[in-house]
Chains A and B, each alone.
Chain A
């Protein structure tokens, strides 16, 4: 800046000065362009480094200002059984033991030496096609590896962006449908701008022999895959991988960056975070940046980087806004934000008023407790099934999956003397809640259970389920019994 001033003041001819200035600016520009072009291929690599690989939803440390290196990526392929959702398991084929596979973080100019290891217990040969590779098959041909073997190939990272990798062994669709995909990030020189929180999530569709929720080990269904009729559409390989205790977190005021991929094999994702607007989206994972985006489209075999600042606390739901996939097939995750409320940005509910249009019409107000009647129950099995669902939604968090409770906090329901002693008392507890000291199986508990917002039939189902599980007295609770207890109060 100083030199420029000096240059300007010492010159008599302003015109000449302008031309000279323009010349300098132009040449620096073209120099820069040329420099970048040369760079990618010719960036020298200094040292060797073992790449940090992470399982979702975590990502490795940003590259920051580090120089280009020879980066050793050591990845193991495992075929193993995992849980798709409660009671449903599936044989996943994985890169690094997780679906999606391990996150790889590189920078432009890195020379990646890729070691692909196929575990001896595996049945099938596999390979890897990285969309970040310039070369035939994206590495697929050079990495085709039999069980119990390891293949090594290397590539120079040229283009910055967020790229998908996947297995490309025949039948390709099946390998991808079983979970063989992941993301590789190529940061530009100097790295992406630093943010407070970074997470890795990837959508995938799954096709099982049984319908959604059908229990047991489910096999892959080729016909459904060809018909593109997915039973599960999920983030990070399973239903609930990012909900409840697995939710990702941030604090008010922080900027969150999500690396979002879509492994497919079939479906395109309409990625959306309920209650947030993406400040920045690297469209399709490339250089183009769009701002103020509500929903971004992520193609199968594609990715996007989304960034947003979280202004208020709460739980933000991440979905594929093809919305039945979110609420019926599993494509739902949670971002929990903690911190101070800001009523200016979001007030919460202020008032609940009656709305009467002028002139008045015929008003029918919903009557108090009336709940839409469920279809009548056919059998005890059905009642138990529904009861279990209600249990998993309402009671599970405190009383735990096997009714074991949590010592000295929440009493057990399994083999519970308190429960089995008096069925009407149990109904009353669910209806009205329970506060104060009780003794269950010799242990004293002094805690609070709030009243549960369940309909009488739901209470009957859930109690029947509890009574018929974990060594309890096998009582059957009917809706009438619940109604009776309720009316006594």
Chain B
């Protein structure tokens, strides 16, 4: 009896070290704070708590390991409800990529369901839009670089450059938090990606949806110059959870453990 408890305890400690050992290496601590996002809930301050974020987007290699461990998420086994026909389209078969793809490139052609499950299986979760945008508004020097002209220009130039999804992860410089590649490789899934359309009925809410079109787009935004953010929000508004897109990947985050 005593022995069993010790063993369990040992396993728990081991797990803890594995999980958080990994945390210190591949995940970085993001200190919470508050900011006004582009589509704030009526342009009010949004507060973000402390959390850990993956330094890099999830790679093809990591996803190969995942589907080997969880065959349910292999290309031929996945439920159509959770991922449409485009799921892992650039894979040769269930566990091998096409020869044109690189193992160190970010995983794309994954649905929101798949991305969520991946994070869940690592004891993590997808970031919220607020969390993602909070970290993504940093450049190399400032936690909030949105006022800088160069910040917006750099991001816009990526949005215009074709086929960046084939680059390997880690090619862009670390931002203020030490996080890489939030801009410059692929779009990333967020847990509540369709919440910009705000109310509970989200996508059904036509009035809010029109905010992304024509005239109302500009007057609805809190930061007129943040055109790059417009494009991200527009992108998120155009997708649904079972879509798999060539330029869309993800990374995971983790809450702070209770002290």
The interface of chain A, by Cβ under 8 A from chain B, is: 79-81, 91, 120-125, 127, 129, 136-137, 140-141, 144-149, 168-172, 174, 219-220, 222-223
Contact = CB atoms under 8 A, between A and B. Distances in A.
B238 interface: yes
Given A219-B156, A222-B227, A121 B246 contact: yes
Contacts of A147: 245-247
B15 interface: no
Interface in B185-212: 187, 206, 209-210, 212
A149 B217 contact: no
A174 B212 CA distance: 13
Residue among A140, A171, A222 with max Cβ neighbours from chain B (10 Å) = A171
A127 to B, nearest CB: 7
B160 interface: yes
A163 to B, nearest CB: 16
Given A145-B238, A169-B212, A170-B212, 13 more contacts: A124-B235, A129-B213, A137-B213, A140-B213, A141-B209, A144-B212, A147-B247, A168-B213, A174-B227, A219-B153, A219-B157, A222-B152, A222-B153
Nearest to A80: B162
Contacts of A172: 213-214, 217
Nearest to B215: A172
A170 B159 contact: no
Contact of A146 (B213, B217, B238): B238
Contacts of B245: 120, 146-148
B142 to A, nearest CB: 20
Interface of B: 86, 149, 152-153, 156-157, 159-163, 187, 206, 209-210, 212-214, 217-218, 225, 227, 230-231, 233-235, 237-239, 243-247
A286 B214 CA distance: 24
Contacts of A145: 238
Nearest to B157: A219
A149 B243 contact: yes
B213 A141 contact: yes
A222 B156 contact: yes
A100 to B, nearest CB: 19
Contact of A170 (B217, B225, B246): B217
A60 B152 CA distance: 41
17 contacts: A80-B162, A121-B163, A123-B187, A124-B234, A125-B237, A137-B214, A141-B210, A141-B213, A144-B238, A147-B246, A149-B243, A168-B214, A169-B234, A169-B238, A171-B217, A222-B156, A223-B149
Contacts of B218: 171
B247 A123 contact: yes
A171 B230 contact: yes
Nearest to B206: A141
A171 B227 contact: yes
Contacts of A174: 227, 231
